[in-house]
Amino acid sequence: MYSHLIDLNDYSVEQWNEIIKLARDIKSNPHIYEGACTGKIMGTLFYEPSTRTQMSFQSAMLRLGGGIIGFDNPQTSSIAKGENLKDTTKTVSGYSDIMVMRHHLEGAAKAAALTADCPVVNAGDGGHLHPTQTLTDLLTLTAEKRLTDLNIGVCGDLKNGRTVHSLVRALSKYEGNKFTFISTKALGLPEYIRKELIEGGAECADVSSIEEALLDLDVLYMTRIQKERFASDEEYERQKDVFVLNARKLKAAKKDLAVLHPLPRVDEITHEVDGDPRALYFKQANYGMYARMALILIILNYDGFKPKPLFEGESGGLKCANKRCIVNNEKGLKQSFVGGSDVLVCEYCEERVI
């Protein structure tokens, strides 16, 4: 029995903790795990650029003794001839034991999982989710700080930042965590996520500058303004460079602040900060490899992770309004919505309908 990983909530908190524990053991005792995936193949389908996610997955599989197939440029595959997502992913899943996919459309990994013949891991779907980055972030915090009773500042493009969406939902499941969102009105956290946090009992505050929040923070999670998700260059130009962390600002922060960033960075952290012991983002990128080694091992070898049903809702004649959702871009997918009478969301991209 295997389970896809589309959203971190596909697994329980106990299962996240199990992955983190295994990742720490792999980091401490790498020789034990050499060859643990001999004979297994990972398909990596990267429809969108990546350095860390793609290469850490590849390095993880190679270190476990497995092999890799795939593409990092869809134009070198039959997608260039017009092949759709379903046919591509169905085919590659037949060649693979596990398939890792990054896509620019929201809900794409979920759509791939519908027909795939092997477990699918979401390596980032548009501006929606990035669950393996969150496993990386949870591992980093476990090893370098802690997961509970944290005052967490999250700064930058909280609207389009898929790493943020997955991370705040995850950290809200650990006791005593509080969130301060540092963003502009235009780039604020999606309402459906804020609602989920508040309903779960998390304290949330909003500020408009790093300085307003920094003094009290235990963790500062910086993010890039996601240029590729903006409708126009003008709109991006208005939002970029609003939030920049530099050495001067950092002087006011706690001595044991953890500065995280999923990377890549553009200008939102100045390079002088890199030498500060509180800057953990390159360590974080390295933890990503161990988190992915643990995830691959668990998906391929462990039968205790029961898959959740991929879809639980129905269409009811409604249509998702999100142009970046896979359901509006791939023929043959059925509209599906979950929720209640007050909030109803698309099951692929979580765009709110009511």
**Could you give the CA distance from residue 346 to residue 321 in angstroms, rounded to a whole number?**
9
Residues 129-188 that bind ligand CP (CB under 6 A): 133
- Cβ-based nearer residue to ligand CP, 104 or 178: 104
Task: From 4-12, 35-43, 52-60, 142-150, give the range in contact with ligand CP by CB under 6 A.
Answer: 52-60
* 194 classed as catalytic: no
Which residues 6+ apart lie within 8 Å of 7 measured at CB? 122, 129, 131, 166
* 102 classed as catalytic: yes
Among 53, 122, 134, 183, binds ligand CP (CB under 6 A): 53
Q: Does 266 bind ligand CP (CB under 6 A)?
A: no
Strands (E) in the chain, as ranges, are: 41-46, 67-71, 98-103, 120-125, 151-155, 178-182, 203-207, 219-222, 258-260, 337-339, 344-346
Task: From 87-95, 198-206, 261-269, 295-303, give the range in contact with ligand CP by CB under 6 A.
Answer: 261-269
Interface characters, 64-93, with ligand CP (x: CB under 6 A): ------------------------------
- Cβ-based nearer residue to ligand CP, 72 or 212: 72
- Cβ-based nearer residue to ligand CP, 264 or 316: 264
Q: Does 122 bind ligand CP (CB under 6 A)?
A: no
Going across the sheet that includes 219-222, the strands are 203-207, 178-182, 151-155, 219-222, 258-260
| Shortest Å distance, C-beta 163 to ligand CP | 6
| Shortest Å distance, C-beta 305 to ligand CP | 23
Q: Does 50 bind ligand CP (CB under 6 A)?
A: yes
**Could you give the CA distance from residue 127 to residue 113 in angstroms, rounded to a whole number?**
19
Nearest to 105 by CA among 125, 83, 89, 88: 125
Selected catalytic residue, list 31, 76, 81, 255: 81
Q: Does 262 bind ligand CP (CB under 6 A)?
A: yes
Rounded to 10°, the helix 281-301/131-144 angle is 120
Give DSSP secondary structure letters for 52-77: HHHHHHHHHHHHTT-EEEEES-GGGT
Q: Is 282 exposed, middle or buried (0-12, 13-18, 19+ CB in 10 A)?
A: exposed
- Cβ-based nearer residue to ligand CP, 222 or 333: 222
Task: From 80-88, 172-180, 259-267, 340-348, give the range in contact with ligand CP by CB under 6 A.
Answer: 259-267
Task: From 59-67, 256-264, 301-309, 314-322, give the range in contact with ligand CP by CB under 6 A.
Answer: 256-264
Nearest to 112 by CA among 128, 92, 129: 92
One-letter amino acid at 194 equals R
What is the b/e burial string over 215-250, where b = at least 16 CB atoms within 10 angstroms of the residue's CB?
eebbbbbbbbbbeebbeeeeebeebbebbebeeebb
| Shortest Å distance, C-beta 141 to ligand CP | 15
Q: Does 52 bind ligand CP (CB under 6 A)?
A: yes
Selected catalytic residue, list 53, 88, 132, 136: 53
| Shortest Å distance, C-beta 53 to ligand CP | 3
Contact residues for ligand CP, defined by CB under 6 A: 50-54, 124, 133, 262-264
Active site residue ranges: 52-53, 81, 102, 130
